[in-house]
Structures are given as C-alpha cells and as structure tokens.
Amino acid sequence: MASPVPFDLDPRAREAARRASSRGLCDECFGRILGRAGHGLTNPERAARCAAALGLVTAPREGPCSLCLGAFDRLDLWADRALRSAEGIEWHRFTCGSRWDPEILAREEALWTEVGTEWGESARSAFNRELGKRLEARTGAAGGPDRPDVVFLADLPVGRVEVTILPVYIRGRYRKLDRTLPQTRWPCRRCRGSGCDWCGGTGKTYPTSVEEIVAGPFLKATGAAGSRFHGMGREDIDARMLGRGRPFVLELLHPCRRTIDLERTREELLPAARERVEVIDLRPAEAADVLRVKEASPEKSYRVGVLGSVPLAKVNEALNVALSRAIAQRTPARVAHRRSDRVRTRRVVAARVVEAGEGRFTLDLRTEAGTYVKEWVEGDGGRTEPSLASLVGVPLKVEFLDVLEIHDAEA
C-alpha cells in the first residue's frame, strides 16, 4: 500500500505540484518535486497520481526535459553502458554513483525554491537508485552501499560509465620454515625495482618471498592485476615462523574473478612453497580485516639460541630480574635508518632456559608486541636497557631465533 503523499493533505504541496506542472519536466523530474514525501510509489507513478488528484492536464512536452535534459529517459542506455564497462568481470554486489553537470544540480535547487517544495529528491540520488534497479533486474546482482564488488560511476556530461573493481580479500596464516625468505617482496636497493646488474635484472634483493609464493596462484585464479600482503607484523628474514603461523590478509587488486576454490588454489602454491612456507586456515575476508591485522598487537613467543659462556644459575637469576622489570628499548641501530628514533617500554612476560650446553643456551620467551628480541638479548650497544647481556655481565650473541607463536585473538 502506498502511503499518503502531501498533495493529498497539504495545500502547499498541491501548490508546488501545480507550479511545477508547467515547467516542461519529464515524469521522473515532476514526480521528484514531492519525491521525499511518502513511499511506495515511483516518481512517474507519483507524477501520474498527482496530476490526476489536481486535475492537471499536462501538455505534451516538446524536446527533452528542461531539468535533466533527458537523463531519466536514457536509463536503459546507461544500464547498457554500465554492463559493458564491466564485461568479463565477475560481480555480485554493486553500487551506483553519477557525476552531473553542477549547473543542472544548481538549477534543480533553484526550482525547488521557485515552486515552494520541501519534499524534493535530488536528481542524482534518484538516478543512482533507478540505474541500480535496472542493473538488479538485468543481472540478479544486489545493489547497495554495503561491500560492493564493483562501483559504477555514470559520468553524465561525458556520456560514459567508469567502473571501479574492488579488491578480493583472503585471510589465512603462514608458517615460514626457511631462514632466507623475506615476508614481502623486497625491491633491489640499488635500482629500487627497475632491474640492474647487481640484482640480475630481477629488481629484487631476494629471489622470492612469502608474499610472492602465496599470491602467485591467487593472482592466476582471480586474474588480478596485483596484490598486497598484510601480515600481522613480520619476522626477520632469518627467523622461522612456527606454531599456528602468522595471520595475514592477501588483497587482490582489480580481480576479474571473485569466486575462488580456496583449497584448490592452496594446492597450486604447494610446489613453490615446499619446505619454505605452509599456508593454513585460508578463508574469505573483507577490507576491515586488513585493519584488524594491522592494528593487532598480540604477545609473541620465541625460541632463541644464545652464544655466551654463562653458568646456568646466573642465566636463571638474570631472567628473574628481567621478568620483574620494564625494558627501555631505543629503536635498534639496524632499523634506525627507516624508523624514527625513540625509546619504548616493553616487557618480557615469561622466560625459561630450555637447553644449556658449553658456551651456548636456548631460551623460550614470551614478550609484549613490538619487543626487539635480538636487541634485548645482546643489548644493542646499550640502546636496550636492561638487556640479558647487561644482567649476566657477559657479551651475548643471538645464534638463531624462531617465532613459536603469535598469541592473537584467534588462539
């Protein structure tokens, strides 16, 4: 049931409609004069009811509508253009927008004032909605602002539709078993990616990365133009990532296909990943997951091999002291060239010796997010205080380091 509209009730609305009826408007534009009043009617239906209620005899319009210049008569053509712009692209949800000549929008507001309506609906929002209805009817896709696969922008003055394809997101966890593998593609330091003699023309410092191994088959499966890899932090290149692995979100840019068989695609990355990377818990994700992964600050557990001649009792004593104190860490010397130099306070929340031998011992640690573990062990030339080395009073060197667990919310 259509609800009452103001021309049934309000003399000002009747007057506004009467004035607008002589302005050479199309049914869409005429109906929109009272467009934000009541619901359940399309604008042309509203226009017809309005004309009947007021006993208006509308003279046949000559030429295009004086307001929209015929844009609403050409909605089917705009729908054709939108569909053509996304040919070969898989999409199930979409949003419509439109760009209008600002002069038309200004003329519309002036018209509302002239005829005295307070119920006018803007041409742009009506056009977007009507274009959306046509696309829904022709494709079965769902229109609306919520998580679209594509966004259509009808550029009315130019006469074409621009399509924006939104990324496909996939989340999962990776385990890294190789101590020579960076997390992300690492552009060559000399040529910054363009290719030079030093990098053998590859543009890269390392032949491959977790990112490239994981993204490869997904790029192929989606026909995406590129990808971004968002890890929940990163480990050093020479550190392994064990346990349940590190959460990541893979963002596939400008994909042609969105329906992917995750398990089959995962199988395709196995040859390149062999003995280097394991990918688990793959699931569809969304844009918000990128932020979630980037902003998480979970505690982490490590296994650290340490070189240094210290009696076991002294190590244990130092660990007890370390656990009771906050650590002041200045940005490590090794990353100071790319991060701002500041002091932050972190804690080692658990620590124990799991193995001790001649001139070496192995520790399991659990630390707050953002703790520089190598620097905490070795001292980083006094930039981390106290360090394990300063507490035992003997120089220490990290022999190896593995991340045993990321204690994120999905634990």
Binding residues for Zn ion, rule: CB under 5 A, are: 26, 29, 65, 67-68, 72, 188, 190-191, 196, 199
Tell which residue, 337, 243, 380, has the closest CA to residue 298: 243
Catalytic residue among 8, 80, 155, 236: 236
Q: Which is nearer to Zn ion, 116 or 200 (CB)?
A: 200
Q: How far is the CB of 26 from Zn ion (least distance, A)?
A: 3
H-helix or E-strand spanning residue 134: helix 123-139
Tell which residue, 169, 301, 288, has the closest CA to residue 246: 301
Q: Where are the beta strands (DSSP E) in 177-315?
A: 226-231, 240-253, 277-285, 299-307
Q: How far is the CB of 75 from Zn ion (least distance, A)?
A: 11
Q: How far is the CB of 20 from Zn ion (least distance, A)?
A: 11
Residue type for 114, please?
Answer: E
Which pair of tokens denotes residue 190? Answer: 């000399």
Q: Which is nearer to Zn ion, 87 or 197 (CB)?
A: 197
Contact of 64 with 73, CB cutoff 8 Å = yes
Q: Which is nearer to Zn ion, 156 or 273 (CB)?
A: 156
> What is d(CA 34, CA 116) in angstroms, rounded to the nearest whole number?
10
Q: How far is the CB of 66 from Zn ion (least distance, A)?
A: 8
Q: How far is the CB of 104 from Zn ion (least distance, A)?
A: 10
Pairing of strands 348-357, 343-346: unpaired
Q: Does 271 sit behind a cis peptide bond, omega within 30 degrees of 0 on the bond before it? A: no
Q: What is the DSSP letter of 2?
A: P
Q: Which is nearer to Zn ion, 68 or 156 (CB)?
A: 68
Q: Which is nearer to Zn ion, 83 or 196 (CB)?
A: 196
Contact of 363 with 350, CB cutoff 8 Å = no
Active site residue 236: yes
Q: Which residues are catalytic, by number?
A: 236
